[in-house]
A and B are shown apart, each in its own frame.
Chain A
């Protein structure tokens, strides 16, 4: 299938790679590799530290508590991670629409 009439000399993958590097010049030199793998292994990691929680609470005692930001994954430091930031056990079990 001759899909690359215009750049016969550059394989399509390489052309795509060049495009990507142009957009993200700081992209790691190691192709594929352990960045992806580490991210994959860390799937599901949330951050909750009771020390953070109590320190932030102490700092905030006179101010209003901030609600969880849009990025619930990063709850460290000044932001008080609340139990609402953590996934809840779903108490009501909704039947799948496939069974409807």
Chain B
């Protein structure tokens, strides 16, 4: 799987692109989340229109050794619909904020999908045979007159064209006053957490009429509100440990064994700020938009507006590594504030690994503007900027690295900061859990890239 090298030793090639070509993007088509399942065979996307599309990887063709299986549509369904809370005069968007897959336990696949207020457990199952030869029913469903039945037969299963069905098995509702930003399944595979701006709840996957509140940072007086929860995740191995990040750039680690309400953190991760650098923008750009544990759980990474930071869970006072995603934007903060881009929430992800060993959490991937995305190799400290664009869509052609010219004379093939398209944001990316296959979402298209196989 992963070579001895890291991000720059992987040569990424275009594999597929999904979605409409036209520039006129309907709101509903804006992709809002992307997630591989635990085996990597399935890839789910959610959009602003409340729809989920699941792609399935083709079985590898032994003769086509130069590429891994392609992803084709497997199932699509309407997960959430728009609602209006008349009591509170609140419009509830159908946008899917997050999808998280459950590990597979039987033939069916299960995923959790959530909008701002309601989490749903969906079962995706295959049907490839149907019973035929009933005694009292015709094949078209009409009932036979029992008096005409002279012999009995045993119905048998006969093959049929594959049908993939999605059905909602649980609806977890009415537990969030504020907007859900995260869901995370516990390593016990029985419980999961959901986090909104001010509270985190713990659910049991089988129980929908009850959830436990485990974090509540709502102040008694809302005038005193200074900080909100931006993301939360369970530890990959320790079922009583979870972290949540804040709009002030801090991360709190909590242990559910310590008390029923985890308002007091066990650890607080915060990088001290240089007071001479403080500006109007400092707090806004320090807001953490995503937090992800490494495979072993020894480290976690956070994404704020301009950087990705890697934290060692044993060291609270500063990150162990910081990677600049697009530092050239620091001198554009005024206009990025005016066009609201400064509030964009970028996600980040680790490379895949089928080992729960730290050695394998080597590469960080995150998105940027102009349909650029970035990768950082923790070992070599090298980084690369790539672009998701239909112009680069020749299979097996290696993607050319991009470079942004921050100031001064622009070299050929470089793009200047002022030419960047801030409407082309890559907020959501995902890395196959075991192979070097990545899914990158632009506004309304999904790109799949693979490493160049020999």
Seen from chain A, the residues whose Cβ lies within 8 Å of a Cβ on chain B are 1, 3-5, 11-17, 19-21, 23, 27, 31-34, 36-38, 40-41, 43-48, 86-90, 93-100
- What are 12 A-B contacts with C-beta separation under 8 Å? A1-B406, A11-B277, A16-B330, A20-B338, A21-B280, A31-B280, A32-B287, A33-B226, A37-B228, A45-B88, A96-B45, A98-B29
Which B residues touch A86, using CB under 8 A?
A: 84, 91
Beyond the given pairs A34-B223, A34-B226, A44-B90, 9 more chain A to chain B contacts, judged by CB atoms under 8 angstroms and listed by A's residue number, are A3-B330, A20-B337, A40-B228, A46-B91, A87-B84, A96-B51, A97-B29, A98-B446, A99-B73
A43 to B91, CA, bound (A): 8
Contact among B28, B78, B178, B331 for A12, CB-based, below 8 A:
B331
CB atoms of B333 and A13 under 8 A apart: yes
Alpha-carbon gap, A74 to B114, bound state (A): 28
Residues of A within 8 A of B333 (CB): 12-13, 16-17, 20
Q: Note all chain B residues with C-beta closer than 8 A to A40.
A: 179, 197, 228
Q: Which of A1, A17, A37 contacts B225 (CB 8 A)?
A: A37
State whether B91 touches A32 (Cβ < 8 A).
no
When the two chains form the complex, which single residue of A31, A34, A47, A87 contacts B279, counting CB atoms closer than 8 Å? A31
Which residue of B has the minimal Cβ distance to A27? B280
Residues of B within 8 A of A14 (CB): 277, 279
| In the assembled complex, B454 has its CB within 8 A of some CB on chain A | no
CB distance from A14 to the nearest CB of B (A): 5
B331 & A16 in contact (Cβ 8 Å cutoff): yes
Q: Which residues of A contact B92 (CB under 8 A)?
A: 44
Tell me the complex Cα distance, A11–B328, Å. Answer: 13
CB <8 Å contact, B279 and A3: no
Contact between chains at A96 and B91 (CB < 8 Å): no
Counting chain A CB atoms within 10 Å of each CB, the highest count among B92, B279, B445 belongs to B279
Complex Cα gap A99–B28 (Å):
13
Report the bound CA distance from A68 to B73 in whole Å. 40
Q: Within 8 Å CB of A95, what residues of B?
A: 51, 76
Say yes or no: is B247 at the interface (Cβ < 8 Å to chain A).
yes
| Complex CA–CA separation, A11 to B226 (angstroms) | 26
Min CB distance, B313 to chain A, in Å?
Answer: 27
